[in-house]
Structure 1
């Protein structure tokens, strides 16, 4: 089926012969009616488009399998000189029949729901960033110095309302502040739902033992991954996030490594980079790795390299089913408690909670000293690895 916005061109192949071609309107009723003409032995091929998952969901109960093809890799269609809907549908059927169709993994319903949730949250977050940028631009255009405290807190909003601005810009600023309050409330509701779901998901709880990864990052990564068994190696997972460099090599020339590919889930890649910046602040081998790369190539490159390192750790944690090896129990418990409060858990005053150990200085310092020793060991290993071996004299020189 060659899918478009309002219809799909279908070509039915049986025993190597096309027995029927038809056009199906992409409405719920028409798709279900078409599905009932198929059998449980049939296979249906569609290309990955914006509405392909909805078509796949409706076709799935009536056929043996629904294959979603990767349009970037179907070269017979992408580079065809004669390209029509009928030809594209025929090519899809022939490629699947011959076993040469590059397909993509179709997420289950729960993973699709998580992806919609995290994508919508990212959109709300970007809207908040744009609104804050417009407020800052108004202040900059009117030569107003920066506010010393939190600009979008109570004191900052009171300060904004008292600024000497023209009447039209004052009304625009008031509207933007109101808009930011509405967006912030939506973002808080998203964070509440995501935090509550992460706390009951064993995979998310396990990921949160890694420095820099909280409920938002864990949920976004899990929504992108789906089933970790799809990735046989950590390199495959890093490549899926678009965190591996492009490589060009031909003939006898050496391979050239470029920038990261930036393919795959954009939201998950952004979350991992943000987690890398957070991991830089926590003692441990991740901070040592960040600092080592930062000295050689700068902080932005170090953040991307640490994000790739986090992807490797995520693969090992999810595959092995074990917590992060250098997790700090008290710090992790405090992180879980913050996530629970964000999810709406009641505050308990006057009694010790599960995160009480973090506020005991002796325990907190003991855990910090442990991971700092690991950080020092990593630095010593790198220093020894960089030392050049002593140069040996040629055998002919030793004889003379």
Structure 2
């Protein structure tokens, strides 16, 4: 006999409803503690299925209850709300809806990552939080300088040693000077936290083949590569690149009704926002480096502007990532010396010993030889020029069955 258990989970308790023989039965509440969930799990059967909505503690609930049941399923709350909208909403009704949707085969599931992918997602999210916090503190320093008519810093970075020396010579009120000192101490502390998180990410990805493969793309560093791999997880769950584009939220919104033409708008921005932000960051880096991606950026920029061009490059990167991970192939226009330097940086951050002074050349030696580096850049420039020429000669393919006599319409 099949039995489905819906759980509407909160911070301190979970409301539980059983679905069996086509009927719902209210079980009651379960404490949201490890001991309470384990006691509840011991009373279940191995053929049971448990359904919870994706919340902050949903993955922990799934990890605790997985050993006791056949499946522990995480549902997409937005899609559940769209499918089963009710005028009367209680915890008991919500739990029953989850159980009924799973029993009828209409439950919108969320992919549950393995422990390693989940850890990498947490590290990437925490790194993003630290970077955003540090940017916020830096902006506060800039706001203080602007409020007191201090001219722009002549150095490239206000917060490096030369910039800080310049900052100490500016005329400011004493309270503002003390505030800037506090902000700089906070920036230094956040820099230390960022270095620790980078080291943890490097240790988790130093032997990851997918991260190593994405590093072959110009403009993609270890932070972007690890964040993308963490967001994607198992690439086989995306049967085509367009599904991965939609998952990242880089697909355009579409409005179409009846016989009217489809209207395409801005990107949907659904799904993994952190991965989308990193891909746009990588797109800006790729737009500055020689190669086909830069040629694509320049072509779109000439028609639509630089912001839309960056988003278009990010979308192309997603398609490229899907093909590379699915076919297990490196980027065709990779620069071997640059890739070796990236991998060496990951190894050093993960705690690998330095190769200096051991009487042999290190693995990233070629990147620091100007002739070799210039040779790779010349090859990338040829690739960019070749792509540009190919696009100029490209002609759209006519639909099958069309002739000149019908002006593109089927007979």
Structure 2: distance between partners of 1:132 and 1:65? 47
Partner of 2:188: 181
Match of 2:252 among 245, 261, 269: 245
Structure 2: distance between partners of 1:394 and 1:224? 50
1:1-400 aligned at under 5 Å gives the runs: 1-75=7-81, 79-149=85-155, 150-349=157-356, 351-385=360-394
Distance of aligned partners of 1:277 and 1:193 in 2 relative to their CA distance in 1, 3 Å threshold = same
Summarize deviations over 1:282-315 as a string: whole Å, max 9, x none. 2111111111111111111111110111111111
The CA deviation at 1:75 is 4.2
Structure 2: distance between partners of 1:37 and 1:379? 65
**What's the TM-score once normalised by structure 2's chain length?**
0.90
Of the structure 1 ranges 70-79 and 256-265, higher mean CA displacement relative to structure 2 is found in: 70-79
SS at match of 2:394: helix
Distance of aligned partners of 1:249 and 1:184 in 2 relative to their CA distance in 1, 3 Å threshold = same
Structure 1: distance between partners of 2:32 and 2:369? 62
Q: Specify every segment of 5 or more residues in structure 2 that has no aligned partner in the other structure, as ranges.
A: 1-6, 407-411
Distance of aligned partners of 1:152 and 1:388 in 2 relative to their CA distance in 1, 3 Å threshold = same
Summarize deviations over 1:264-299 as a string: whole Å, max 9, x none. 111111111111111112211111111111111111
**Are the counterparts in 2 of residues 198 and 218 from structure 1 also a CA contact under 8 Å?**
no
Distance of aligned partners of 1:369 and 1:161 in 2 relative to their CA distance in 1, 3 Å threshold = closer
SS at match of 2:79: coil
The CA deviation at 1:349 is 3.7
Provide the alpha-carbon RMSD of the alignment. 2.2
The CA deviation at 1:82 is 2.0
Structure 2: distance between partners of 1:89 and 1:393? 61
Distance of aligned partners of 1:107 and 1:349 in 2 relative to their CA distance in 1, 3 Å threshold = closer
Structure 2: distance between partners of 1:19 and 1:167? 68
Summarize deviations over 1:85-107 as a string: whole Å, max 9, x none. 22222222111111111111111
**Are the counterparts in 2 of residues 77 and 88 from structure 1 also a CA contact under 8 Å?**
no
Q: Deviation above 6 Å: which 4+ runs of structure 1?
A: 386-389, 392-395
Partner of 1:398: none
Summarize deviations over 1:111-153 as a string: whole Å, max 9, x none. 1111111101100000000010000011111111122223111
Structure 2: distance between partners of 1:79 and 1:219? 38
**Are the counterparts in 2 of residues 234 and 315 from structure 1 also a CA contact under 8 Å?**
yes
Structure 2: distance between partners of 1:277 and 1:358? 22
Of the structure 1 ranges 325-334 and 224-233, higher mean CA displacement relative to structure 2 is found in: 325-334
